[in-house]
Amino acid sequence: FPSRLPNVGTTIFTVMSALAAEHKAVNLGQGFPDFACDPALVDAVTRAMQTGHNQYPPMVGVPALREAVASKIETLHARRYCPNSEITITAGATQAILTAILACVQPGDEVIVLEPCYDSYVPNIELAGGVVVRVPLTPGSFRPDFARISAAITPRTRLIIANTPHNPSATVWTAEDMRALEELLAPTGILLISDEVYEHMVFDGAEHQSAARFPGLADRAFIVSSFGKTFHVTGWKIGTVAAPAPLTAEFRKVHQFNVFTVNTPMQYGLADYLGNPAPYLQLPAFYQAKRDLFRQGLEGSRLRLLPSTGSYFQCVDISAVSDLGEADFCQWLTREIGVAAIPLSAFYGDGFDQRVVRFCFAKKDETLREALTRLRRL
């Protein structure tokens, strides 16, 4: 029968993790921590199971967790979302993004993505029958180019998807960037998905500029986050969407027939754990130290370091090391040097190859040191 996604294969993250396992390579490809989460979080979830929180929770998420999320956003970004009508608990950011797209994109609607972009966006838009409009971030710096975004807007534009801190480029949007987007969208009815899964990984004293801080954005935005990233539990697949009540109402219509709801004990455990802000407030320093360890280890090598100001990724230019294209280089690096990475071309619809690959530094220091020992052979 005809495929709904004829051009889609297995994601690069799965492919590279399998190759890394096959060759016993240090896996700096797929983005996930190789260290344990806080035992207090596991205890909180265990307590929730032991006290009988094991049946369906409310469709939109348990009230205590929605309240904890609303309070956190209010404290950090000074916008109060109503826990009942504006916060929904999702099965990770991936489900949140798909659900938001299905909720608002009609067949033929145009959706702007800024490339390079996370690999689920484009297939999600296609599943909704939307038309993907690709706008490149500025080559080299990966900054948003508002003139190009503006030129891509038409009367059919329904949605734009933005992502800060950014996967894969590790750049962070400034308040000026957010204001520029706010101004650009002001005269339009265009909706926004603001993918903020790396919200707590911003370095060198910079601040995460959530869309929640900019009324002209927040009023039209699905703001997506992921506890998997924030609390080192990517396998739990649990996240949130904050959106104004009318958007949330449409989101929930799709959500209830998509997953209906999300696992109960994790929700109670996270609600409990969120009472203490220290774990997420310490995250910038925690990951900045890992970034610095990794960068210092590569200084003096022929891999040219690009800036990494947020997320848990470090991109490098490989052109002084190899004549291979990005994808072939990543295969070679995994097999021959024993370190897995992700080609940036995987984040472009046309496979654009700029000789840059992405490493994930969400790893134990000893893992990073082992990877550095191997990479210094280059």
Q: Interface residues with ligand PMP (CB under 6 A)? A: 31, 92-94, 118, 163, 167, 195, 197, 226, 228, 234, 237, 239
Q: Closer to ligand GLN by CB, 222 or 361: give it.
A: 361
Q: Closest distance between ligand PMP and the C-beta of residue 255, in Å? A: 14
Residue in this structure with the two tokens 């993505």, named with its chain if needed:
113
85 binds ligand GLN (CB under 6 A): no
Q: Closest distance between ligand PMP and the C-beta of residue 160, in Å? A: 15
Q: Closest distance between ligand GLN and the C-beta of residue 188, in Å? A: 30
- What are the angstrom distances between the C-alpha of 128 and each of 99, 222, 248? 10, 17, 18
- Binder among 90, 95, 164, 167 for ligand GLN (CB under 6 A): 167
**Bond into 33 cis (ω within 30):** no
**Encoded tokens for 169:** 């480029």
13 binds ligand GLN (CB under 6 A): yes
Non-local (6+) Cβ contacts of 197 within 8 A are 93, 167, 224, 225, 226, 228, 229, 239
30 binds ligand GLN (CB under 6 A): yes
Residue in this structure with the two tokens 């990543």, named with its chain if needed:
330
Q: Closer to ligand GLN by CB, 79 or 358: give it.
A: 358
31 to 50: interface string for ligand GLN, x by CB under 6 A:
x-------------------
CA-closest candidate to residue 80, choices 92, 93, 67, 89: 67
Identify the bridge partners of residue 314 per DSSP, sorted by sequence position: 359
Q: Helices (DSSP H) in 171-244: which residue ranges? A: 175-185, 215-218, 227-230
Q: Closest distance between ligand GLN and the C-beta of residue 29, in Å? A: 7
Q: Closest distance between ligand GLN and the C-beta of residue 11, in Å? A: 5
Residues in contact with ligand GLN by CB under 6 A are 11, 13, 30-31, 167
